[in-house]
Amino acid sequence: MATEAHGEATGLSFHPMDQFIVRPLFGDGPVHWYTPSNVTLWLFAIILATLALLVLGTRGRGIVPTRTQSIAELSYGLVHKMVGDIAGKDGLKYFPYIMTLFMFVLFANFLGLLPLAFTVTSHIAVTGVLALAVFLSVTAIGFIKNGAHFLDLFWVRSAPLAIRPVLAVIEVISYFVRPVSHSIRLAGNMIAGHAVIKVFAGFAAIAAVAPISIIAVVGMYAFEILVAFIQAYVFTILTCVYLKDALHPSH
Amino acid sequence: MISLLQEAATTAAEHTESVASSVAHGETETTTGLPQLDLSTFANQIFWLVVAMVVLYWVVAKIALPRIGAVLSDRQGAMTGDLMAAEEFKLKAKEAEAAYDKALADARAEANKIVAANRAEIQKELDAAIAHADAEISARGAESEKRIREIRDSADVDAREVARDVAAELVRSFGGTVDQAAVDQAVDSRMKGALQ
């Protein structure tokens, strides 16, 4: 999986992975843990976008909403309904956390689609921390709310007794794989989409292929807009499912 | 999980060593192909992510959600209130309609009563007038009858007188003596058949 491959004969140069490099925002020094980097910049862009939509957009507090306010209300309603439907009434207590996650992933994905942008959700360091946070807090909630009964999640009572131990092993493994799949799914989608767009764009250097290349980029871009929303939605809905398992562990 | 990533990173690095060594990586000191697996940037990403998530959580949970929730419940309240007011108005309209209907029926009944009363009164007057006229007519008729009878009676008397006189004169002119009583008797017996 080469980051950079130079086709010297054709003059083509592909750098599909360069867009993911973490750089210091100022100067060329090493990236320490405190260095303001392009990650920092885009993380705060996400905060500003969320502020613009959810806070600035609703400043009128209108009974009849403005356009921005209705989008804010729509996203509120979407996540609120999702939490209520999947995790149940007692899951609504965690609605602010899940809403924060949704807005973060949504704007990270969308802002990452801007030209020259950096996609924070394309890094497993970021999605991994998010998924681990969900995993750990959900597990903690499960044990605090249900005590030892939380382990019922792994003991499938509807199955015959003989195969329950086998199922338990499988359930435990699948439980611990959750944060991995949860994070890799999001980061993988983002990496793949952005890399493919970059590769298509690289072909535009050949005049004969350029129109096809541009059409392909446009098509991919439209597809990526869809993926950006769907992945944010999927990430949130999986969080709700995990939360439901923690609140109601019995099968 | 971190160890797993490290393992993946080192294998990736081995695979791409030949390529990576031939390429100058500029400002990043990574030896792997995939920037996602460059562990040297993890601390930076995670630190800023945590900072950003704390800020974002504060913005969303403390400002945005209470505000949107309040707006939504306000709207719900306004809608419920409006619907209830509409229901109330509908009820009032129904009441008004019922009152109107009742007033209409009352007025109609009153009008009927007045018409009936008038009719009865007129009938009474009419009956009285007819009775009066009948009485008048019968009185007049009786009077006329009386007059006719008087006239007839007087005619009878006159005729008897004339007949008696004529008979007496006839008897005298034939040279007889007039026996008044005989004449009267003769006249009376002749007249009995003629008159009446």
In the predicted model, is pLDDT for residue B28 greater than 90?
no
Residue type for position B138: S
Give residue B186's pLDDT band: very low, low, confident or very high (50, 70, 90). confident
User: In this predicted structure, what is the pLDDT of residue B24?
Assistant: 40
Angle at B28 between CA B22 and CA B33, to 5 degrees: 50
Question: How far apart, in Å, are the Cα atoms of B142 and each of A31, B32, B134, B139, B154?
Answer: 147, 150, 12, 5, 18
Give the start-to-end residue ranges of the domains of chain A.
Answer: 37-247
Contact assignment for B45 to A24 by CB distance below 8 Å: no
Please give, rounded to a whole number of angstroms, the shortest distance from the CA of B21 to a CA of chain A.
11
Name the closest residue on chain A to residue B4, using Cα atoms: A180
Mean pLDDT for B122-136 is 95
Domain that holds residue B21: 1-37
Q: Which residue of A39, A95, A101, A178 to mutate against B (max B Cβ within 10 Å)?
A: A39
Name the closest residue on chain A to residue B17, using Cα atoms: A2
Q: Give Cα B80 distance to the centre of its chain.
A: 31
DSSP letter (8 states) at residue A130: H
Residue B19 within any structural domain of the chain: yes
Sort residue B26 into left (φ over 0), alpha (ψ -120 to 50) or beta: left
Contacting residues of A for B51, CB less than 8 Å apart: 43
In the predicted model, is pLDDT for residue B27 greater than 50?
no
Contacting residues of B for A69, CB less than 8 Å apart: 71
Contacting residues of B for A44, CB less than 8 Å apart: 52
pLDDT, tens digit, for every residue of A16-64?
888 898 889 888 888 888 889 999 999 999 999 999 999 999 998 888 8
User: In this predicted structure, what is the pLDDT of residue B176?
Assistant: 78
Q: Which of A124, A147, A145, A127 lies closest to A135 in space, CA to CA?
A: A127
Contacting residues of A for B9, CB less than 8 Å apart: none
Residue B9 within any structural domain of the chain: yes
DSSP letter (8 states) at residue A24: B
User: In this predicted structure, what is the pLDDT of residue A7?
Assistant: 45
Residue B3 within any structural domain of the chain: yes
- β-partners of residue A5 are A14
Total tally of structural domains belonging to chain B: 1
Contact assignment for B5 to A124 by CB distance below 8 Å: yes
Q: Across the interface, which of A32, A43, A191 has its CB nearest the CB of B52?
A: A43
pLDDT, tens digit, for every residue of B72-114?
999 999 999 999 999 999 999 999 999 999 999 999 999 999 9
Residue B176 within any structural domain of the chain: no
> Can you list the positions of beta strands (E) in chain A?
5-7, 12-14
In the predicted model, is pLDDT for residue B18 greater than 80?
no
Task: End-to-end CA distance of chain B: give it in Å, rounded.
Answer: 157
Name residues of chain A where pLDDT drops below 50: 1-9
DSSP letter (8 states) at residue A37: B
